[in-house]
Amino acid sequence: MNWQQWLRDAGIPLPRTPDATSIGLAALLVAGAFWVGWLLSRRLAPRIGAGFRRLTGRTDQFGTTLAKSLMRYGVPALLLLVGGNLVALSPLGDLIAAVGLGAATAMLAYRVVLAAGLGSATAGVLSMIALVATVAGSLGGLQPLTQALSGIGLTVGTRRISLLGVLNFLIVVVVLYLIARLANRVLVHAIGRTQVLDVSQRALVQKLGSLLVVVVAVLFGIDLLGIDLTAFTVFSGALGLAVGFGLQKTFGNLIAGLILLMDRSVKPGDVIVVGDTFGAVTKIGVRAVSVVTRDGKEHLIPNEQLMTEPVENWSYSSRNVRVHIPVGIGYDSDLPLAQRLMIEAAMGGSRVLQDPKPTVWLTGFGDSSVDHEILVWITDPEAGVGNIRSEVLNRLWVSFKENGIEIPFPQRDIHLKANHSS
């Protein structure tokens, strides 16, 4: 069987003598559509990419790359779709235009799916589906193709799973995922830029908005796929039991995170102490709160732990924190001079506040020293307190040396008693 007979059997009648004019017109239409797409991608893609970055807050070239793909392949597909319906072509001309339309659609699907991070394998499968479906649909052969795909399948219980249904499911899921991801990115960035809400409220609204986007996408998917929700009655009961037993902690952390965001007892930017962990809160996630310590280590503390255990919040009502710096001087030292030097050393600290002013307390008389505490205030506890103590004590060491103030060390008198035997 030659190729002409094969095309006739596929439903594409061919003339005895090919129409060179129609073939040339179809080739010119395909080439012109791709040229227009290439030209628009060079001129408009950078502008669209800049607008995309402003809209989503992304600083990479994702928006420009996506815009180039849409211009370079989406515009030719649209032009070929319109031109194919407006221009009367011969069967071979229609075939050339259909292949061009299919190639543009397939390349567009491949680039978009790949840019979304779904992997080259998924992008390749979807692009092949787009190519076959577009070419078949343009040539009027989509119905035989869908019937053939629907005939391939298997029966599970009372339900039949066909290849057409699997492909529909895959396409709907991928498309809704891409739309939901883009919508979530735009929504989160728009909420993050608003000045009406504070940091904690913005984080709460962003999480609720993300959850709403997911719910809407799932409902759209169920409607598009025609899924009967009554079939999930038993499944929902089993899911409820799973949540009650196996996923209790997970949902407890989710609810605890929402409560933390609503009552703002702990919010991003706060400096907290939970157990042995001291650091600044950088993020309140669905499962855990991220706390970065002064060592650069990021601790993930479950949300529920912050609801059930005592938490020190150093910046809950005010960011001012008082730091205690113990100092001991010798009993023979000039006490008023030493205390004045302590105040001067404290006021010279780079992060020490001048209002409230540093103060010095005499806390007791030790075994070998007169004990004091220097009290200083800082307004940036996330930068640490150990470096403040080090800076003040280093200044004080120099001042004490210059003014003859003794820094004592423990001393003991040992008395040896001789044992005289009679």
> Which residues are paired to 313 by β-bridges?
272
Torsion of CA 380, 386, 388, 389, to 10 degrees: 150
Q: Give residue-wise pLDDT tens across range 180-216.
A: 877 777 777 777 777 666 666 677 677 777 888 888 8
Longest dimension (CA), the chain: 144
Cα 54 from Cα 174, distance rounded (Å): 25
**What are the pLDDT digits (tens) for 249-301?**
777 777 787 777 777 778 888 888 888 888 888 887 777 888 888 778 888 88
Contact 376, 343 (CB under 8 A): no
Residue 54 has pLDDT above 80, yes or no: no
Question: What residue has token string 């009967």?
Answer: 228
- Residue 266 to residues 144, 269, 273, 296, 306: CA-CA distances in angstroms? 61, 9, 11, 20, 9
pLDDT exceeds 60 at position 9: no
Tell me which residue has tokens 């699997």. Answer: 166
Average pLDDT rounded to a whole number, residues 57-75? 71
CA 400 to chain CA mean position, Å:
53
d(CA 361, CA 165): 79
Q: Choose among 272, 263, 117: nearest CA to 198.
A: 263
pLDDT digits (tens, 9 = 90+) for 69-81: 777 777 777 777 7
**Exposed e or buried b per residue across 190-216, where buried means at least 16 C-beta atoms within 10 angstroms of its C-beta:** ebeeeeeeebbbbbbbbbebbeebeee
Percent of the chain with pLDDT over 70: 71
What's the pLDDT score for residue 337?
92
Mean pLDDT of 361-383: 88
> How does residue 247 score in pLDDT terms, banded at 50, 70 and 90?
low
In the chain, which residues fall in CATH 3.30.70.100? 321-403
Q: Where in the chain is the domain with CATH 2.30.30.60?
A: 252-313
Does residue 138 contact residue 91 with C-beta atoms inside 8 Å?
A: no
DSSP calls for 46-105: HHHHHHHHHHH---SSHHHHHHHHIIIIIHHHHHHHHHHHHS---HHHHHHHHHHHHHHH
Please give the backbone phi and psi of residue 156, each rounded to the nearest 5 degrees, phi first.
-120, 105
Would residue 404 be called left, alpha or beta, if left means φ above 0 and alpha means ψ between -120 and 50 degrees? left
CATH class of 321-403: alpha beta
CB-CB neighbours of 6 under 10 Å? 10
Query: Does domain 252-313 bear CATH number 2.30.30.60?
Result: yes
What local confidence, expressed as pLDDT, does residue 387 receive?
Answer: 86
Q: How far apart are CA 197 and CA 177, in angstroms?
A: 29
Q: Which residues lie across from 241 on neighbouring strands?
A: none
At 199 the pLDDT is: 67
Residue 381 — pLDDT band, cuts 50, 70, 90? confident
Query: Is the backbone of residue 19 left (phi > 0), alpha (psi -120 to 50) or beta?
Result: beta
184-193, 330-339, 379-388 — which is least confidently predicted?
A: 184-193
Task: Report pLDDT digits (tens) over 116-170.
Answer: 677 777 778 777 877 777 777 666 655 555 666 566 666 665 666 666 667 677 7
